[in-house]
Amino acid sequence: MSAVFNPDEAVSGIAAKSCAIEIREGDWQAYAQSVARGQNEKGLAERYGSIMAYKRACALAYLGKRAQLHGGVCSTRHPHIMTPQFIADLEVSNRAIRYARYPWLKLLMNLLGEIEQIQDQISSTNVITLVPAPK
C-alpha cells in the first residue's frame, strides 16, 4: 500500500480493493443498516457496479457468516434424507415454534379454517348451475 492518497482506492473511507462487508451472523439490524447505507452512499453502489449488486453482496455476507460458523446449509459428507416422517416432524416443530413466537397466529389460523368450512357448507347448498346436465 502506498503512502499517496488515491481517490480510486477509497470510496466513503473504505478501500476499494476490499469488498468485504462485515455482518455478524443473525444480525438483521446490521444487514438492514448496510443495505440502507448503500442507498445513501452512491460510492458503494458504484464500487459494486449497481445497488442490486451491493444488496446481493450484503445478503451473501449475512448468509456467508452463517455458513462459516455452522458449516453451511447442506453437508455433502452427511446428507439428510427427508422422509415423510421427518417432514411431518419438522412441520410440527416449526408450527410449535411459530405459535410460540406469535401467539395470536394460532387463533387466526383456526378462525380462517372455520370461515373456509362455513363457506364450503354454504356454497354447496346455494349453487345454481348454469351448465346443462350431460345427457
pLDDT level of residue 50 (50, 70, 90 thresholds): confident
**Amino acid 97: pLDDT:** 93
**Greater pLDDT, 16 or 100:** 100
- Lowest-pLDDT choice from 15-29, 57-71, 106-120: 15-29
Q: Report yes or no: 54 and 60 within 8 Å, Cβ to Cβ.
A: no
Among 56, 52, 58, 51, which residue's Cα sits nearest to residue 20? 58
**Amino acid 108: pLDDT:** 94
Cα(127)–Cα(5) distance, rounded to whole angstroms?
78
Half-sphere exposure of residue 127, counting CA atoms within 13 Å on the CB side? Answer: 9
Q: Which residues pair with 15 in a beta bridge?
A: 10
Q: Report yes or no: 19 and 47 within 8 Å, Cβ to Cβ.
A: yes
pLDDT level of residue 69 (50, 70, 90 thresholds): low
> pTM (2 decimals)?
0.38
